[in-house]
Amino acid sequence: MPAAEKNMNERGNAPWIMHVDMDAFFTSIEQLDNPRLRNLPIAVGGMTRGVISTASYEARKFGVHSAMPTALALRLCPRLILLPCRMARYSEVSRRIMETLRGFSPLVEQASIDEAYLEATGLERLFGPPEELCKKVMEAVFRATGGLTCSIGLAPVKFLAKIASDLHKPHGCTILRESEVQAFLQTLPVGKIPGVGQAFLRELAEFGIKTCADVCTRPRSFWERRFGKSGLSLFLRAQGIDERGVVPYRKPKSESAETTLEQDTTDRALLCGWLYRHAERVGRALRRQGFCGRVVTLKIKYRDFSLVTRRATLTEPTCATQTIFSAAKDLLEALDPQRPVRLIGVGVSGFDNAPAQGFLPQASPAHEEELRRRRLDKALDAIGDKIVTGRLLCAGKQ
């Protein structure tokens, strides 16, 4: 049974899920903190290399957008002002926003640093009809952040709420009632459905599929047979079916960190230094959350933008910085040392397959070394950022 019908039967209320999406979040914070940047084309991230994280709406008029290479952004907008990422500040504001949203609904699912879903079924009893509810949420976020705007989508199911929030940005609100869903889907381009990327779009184009109405001309069996889970998901979304509810907390599947270098390099010592920095950052995040993982992933992007990932599966789950670093370093050493590297990253995953997180089951030299590393990390975590470990400074020489 579709989620919308289930909610209606259980609660006697029209089903509503709200998607709240902040407008140009990073750059809006920069303009809020520094009024001289208002009405100017600015972007966060990239600096002299890398990609744009967020572009202001003034910059977007020139075609600048997130994930765009910085060099291209500067060609499109020569007067673009590049600013460094201040993640601590953005996270602080994000926490304030999420706390504000929890004042409207006990079920809030944070989807990213600047967006969240709310279970809104029945909230009209507390905050009035849908239009009034959306207005109150937007006003509350504006007050809580000192002047930041958001856009809202309100719909019977999750994926439609996300699509709706993007229709009238910035500072817009779109309400899609259940009686309007089928008409809305008839002309909706399949590329608007979350999860349908460029590669999938190209395959769909070969079959003449452009809209959700086109998807529904073929049976479910075709989509499952031709595209597997992705095809089935597309078939269901094209009919407005999304059984996912709002989940206040979801266990992460991985933890990672990466950096686009200021200059392409073949210097293994420099690359190993970055590996250690990332291993330390990932290890700290895992220990803070109480997770360990078995799979260490190395991510490398070369000068020609070709991307390579390599994975190592450990015998025991880990959250130790040195263990993560050693595995990533071994993966790096197996790659071509002559190709200039543009980006380097490290990730840890495989949490679900890990045994009890707090200890290693047998006694062996390898287990004892892992425990020693964890004890050392625990001590260093307690000190925090007050020191820079000698291991970080000489990591590239190991």
Residues designated catalytic: 115
Closest by CA to 134, choosing from 145, 123, 146, is: 123
- What is d(CA 117, CA 159) in angstroms, rounded to the nearest whole number? 10
DSSP string, 189-230: BGGGSTT--HHHHHHHHHTT--BHHHHTTS-HHHHHHHHHHH
Measured between alpha carbons, how far apart are the two ends of the chain, in Å?
A: 57
- Phi and psi angles of residue 259, each rounded to the nearest 5 degrees, phi first: -145, 135
- What is d(CA 161, CA 181) in angstroms, rounded to the nearest whole number? 11
| Strand pairing class (341-349; 293-302) | antiparallel
The contacts found for 38-44 with CB under 8 angstroms, 24 or more apart, are 40/81, 41/77, 41/79, 41/80, 41/81, 42/80, 42/81, 42/82, 42/83, 43/73, 43/80, 43/81, 43/82, 43/83, 44/82, 44/83, 44/84, 44/85
- What is d(CA 46, CA 258) in angstroms, rounded to the nearest whole number? 13
Q: Are 340 and 271 a contacting pair, CB within 8 Å? A: no
Q: Are 233 and 242 a contacting pair, CB within 8 Å? A: no
